[in-house]
Every structure is written in structure tokens, then in C-alpha cells.
Chain A
Amino acid sequence: SQQGEEDPQALSIQEGENATMNCSYKTSINNLQWYRQNSGRGLVHLILIRSNEREKHSGRLRVTLDTSKKSSSLLITASRAADTASYFCATDVGGGSNYKLTFGKGTLLTVNP
């Protein structure tokens, strides 16, 4: 089963509204990352939050991490039509020579003009 699971699977909002996506994971992590993917294209890194951090901001993005609940949320404020994309969380699993990054299935965000 997936290490990271995003929720909801799909989200449709109006331009200017805020969008919140959640990610839950199963095992302890070193860090959690969020990526964006425009249709059929490569993923683009948005933000990384380490396990000892609780909140991080980058422009209109706000990420929180709750390691006790093994969950993270990505908030996009004042959304724009250009934010329409799939959003993935990724968690690292293992350490030393056994490092692996595991992605969830993603949340498809549609921002309507």
C-alpha cells in the first residue's frame, strides 16, 4: 500500500478561494515534500518540510506537518486558474543505503475562473 495518501482525490474551487489538500502516511519520516504536476508533465517541487518542523510557508503556499498524527496539509491561498494541477506528497522511507522516496496518488485541483 502507498506510504503517502492524499485527500481528497479531486477538488474543484473558484478562483480566489483557498484550497487545502491533506496527506497521511504510515511510517516515521525524515521529511515530507509536496510536488505539483501539470497534465502529463514532469513534477515540480513546491516545498519540503522536515520532521522537526511544524509549519512552513512559501509565497501562497503553507504546509503543516503533524508527526503525531502522521499527516500533512498543503494550503494554497487566493487560488488562481494557473494553480490547476495535480498535487502529490512524497515521503522518504529508510535511511543509509536504503533510501527511497514514495509518492502518493495525488489530488487533482481544478480552479475555475
Chain B
Amino acid sequence: EAQVTQNPRYLITVTGKKLTVTCSQNMNHEYMSWYRQDPGLGLRQIYYSMNVEVTDKGDVPEGYKVSRKEKRNFPLILESPSPNQTSLYFCASSSWRGYNEQFFGPGTRLTVL
């Protein structure tokens, strides 16, 4: 089944404790992206990747890192999480530059205390 998976689905952590949210897709997509969704602010792009070893900032990259060492994986790293990073995070992928439909993961609800 074609899908985007994220782990963990729920995470409660404390300020400053490094964490990684994994994202994996099995559709051989070139394009992958991370978004955060907050009430009243909608969906905002954090980082995106056009292909392996190619990443770029979205609208709200501060406090986040990403890497794309393999085509299927695009982990999101929070080196020193802060409470303002409490949010619902989505990973998405698509073929060829995202001009086509994006497939979304189920989301990761992160709470930073």
C-alpha cells in the first residue's frame, strides 16, 4: 500500500531534549516536505527536499533541521525543542517537484513542556 509513515504519532517531551521525528515513504517520490499545523495559522511549511541531499527552507525553518540521505526517508530534527514548537506535524511526499498531489502522513502531535 502506498503510504507515508511518521513516528512517533504522539510525543510529550521537555524543553531542550533533542528529538527526531521520522518520515518514510514507499512511493519512490523525489519531493518530501515537513509542515506544522497550528490553530488559526493553518499549515506552514518547515523544510522541503527536492531529492536526495537537496533540502531547502520553507516558511518557518527556525529551530528545525532536516536531512535527506536516502530517497525514502526525511527525518525532522529538533535539536533543542521549545514550548513554541508544540504543534501537529505532517510529512508529505510527491513525485516530481510537488507539482502533483502530495501524500500526507498521519501526523505527529508534539508537546514540549
Knowing A30-B99, A97-B50, the reply to whether A42 touches B104 (Cβ < 8 A) is yes
- How would you classify the secondary structure of chain B's contact residues: helix, strand, loop or mixed? strand
Q: Which chain A residues lie closer than 8 Å to B99 at the CB level?
A: 30-31, 92, 99
Q: Which chain A residues lie closer than 8 Å to B103 at the CB level?
A: 45
Interface residues of B in 77-99 (CB under 8 A from A): 88, 90, 92, 97-99
Q: Which of A31, A48, A103 has the most CB of B within 10 A?
A: A103
Asked if A43 and B43 sit within 8 Å, CB to CB, the answer is: yes
CB distance from B102 to the nearest CB of A (A): 6
Chain B 94-112 interface 0/1 with A at a Cβ cutoff of 8 Å (1 = within): 0001111111111101000
Which residue on B lies nearest to A95, using beta carbons? Answer: B97
Interface size bucket, B side?
Answer: 20 to 34
Asked if B50 and A42 sit within 8 Å, CB to CB, the answer is: no
B56: CB under 8 A from chain A? yes
Knowing A30-B99, A43-B90, A45-B103, the reply to whether A100 touches B48 (Cβ < 8 A) is yes
CB distance from B15 to the nearest CB of A (A): 24
Which residue on B lies nearest to A31, using beta carbons? Answer: B99
Q: Which chain A residues lie closer than 8 Å to B40 at the CB level?
A: 105
Asked if B42 and A42 sit within 8 Å, CB to CB, the answer is: no
B2: CB under 8 A from chain A? no
A10 to B110, CA, bound (A): 26
A33: CB under 8 A from chain B? yes
Listed in ascending order, the chain A residues whose CB lies under 8 Å from chain B are 2, 30-31, 33, 35, 40-45, 48, 88, 90, 92, 97-106
Listed in ascending order, the chain B residues whose CB lies under 8 Å from chain A are 4, 31, 33, 35, 40-45, 48, 50, 54, 56, 58-59, 88, 90, 92, 97-107, 109
